Amino acid sequence: MAELQLTPPRKERLADKLYGQILEQILNGAFKEGDRLPAENDICSAFSVSRPVVRQALIRLQADGLVYSRRGSGTFVRAVPPSAITRFVLPSNVAGYLKSFEVRFALEAAAASLAAERRSSQNLHNLDEANELLREKIMNGQSPSEADFNFHREVAVASGNDLFVSLFEHLRGEISGSMGVALNLTKLGSDERRIAVLREHQQIVEAIRARNGEHAALYMRYHLVRARERITDAQRDP
């Protein structure tokens, strides 16, 4: 069985640090899909922390879909993020990107639902344009990160509630970063993956056009879950 190579930290936020170190070793292939992580006690010793810290880190890795635990048998690596990811992002940033998805699930699903209810013809026009620009960037192999940010920002604008726009822009750093990673991976990926990304955006637009708030929220959540899995899981395609 593989051994975790751990360096005891000096600083606070121990669980975050531990999360980052384990993530890094999953990213660089030291732990592979199906591998069992060391027992909690062993991680405690190796990392010089108490059990609550270890549990916190494991819960986060589990919430991020990187490991799963079986009652009584331990914690296992669920999926290895694509090694290509390391070309675009420091492992230590991945945690931040994944964290931004938790906020986006909540915020953007609500914004999409309201956008379907309230969007003006002008909002719809802007969404169509943003979507078209994104399509061109992706099909031409150009960096689509800004176009993607702009598309999601237009959904927030169409909600008619400017607080959604303001919060979305407050998250610009994390969101742009994670979009850059996800879309760069898409660029490297198969045609099927590119088409999936475009289809997901199109479904959001169509639900907003049809004024179907429930579907708009559903398609937004689906898109974000898929985008997140495109970062954490190379195997699942598209």
Give φ, ψ of 28 to 5 degrees. Answer: -90, 10
Characterize the bridge pairing of strands 74-77 and 67-70: antiparallel
- 174 lines the binding site for a second copy (CB under 8 A): yes
Which residue, 187 or 193, has its beta carbon nearer to a second copy?
A: 193
- 36 lines the binding site for a second copy (CB under 8 A): no
- 114 lines the binding site for a second copy (CB under 8 A): yes
Beta partners for residue 76, in sequence order: 36, 68
Tokens at residue 85, please?
A: 């990811």
Q: Which residues contact 101 (CB under 8 A, 6 or more apart)?
A: 178, 224, 227, 228
d(CA 14, CA 28): 21
Question: Distance of CA 77 to CAs 29, 36, 38, 83, Å?
Answer: 11, 6, 11, 15
The single residue among 72, 140, 141, 191 that binds a second copy, judged by CB under 8 A, is 72
- 165 lines the binding site for a second copy (CB under 8 A): no
- 190 lines the binding site for a second copy (CB under 8 A): no
The single residue among 35, 84, 86, 105 that binds a second copy, judged by CB under 8 A, is 105
Residues 128-147 close enough to bind a second copy by CB under 8 A: none
The single residue among 56, 86, 143, 176 that binds a second copy, judged by CB under 8 A, is 56
Tell me which DSSP letter residue 58 carries: H
Give the residues lining the site for a second copy (CB under 8 A).
40, 51-52, 55-56, 59-60, 63, 65, 68, 71-72, 78, 99-100, 102-103, 105-107, 109-111, 114, 117-118, 120-121, 159-164, 166-167, 170-171, 174, 199, 206, 210-212, 215, 218-219, 221-222, 225, 236, 238
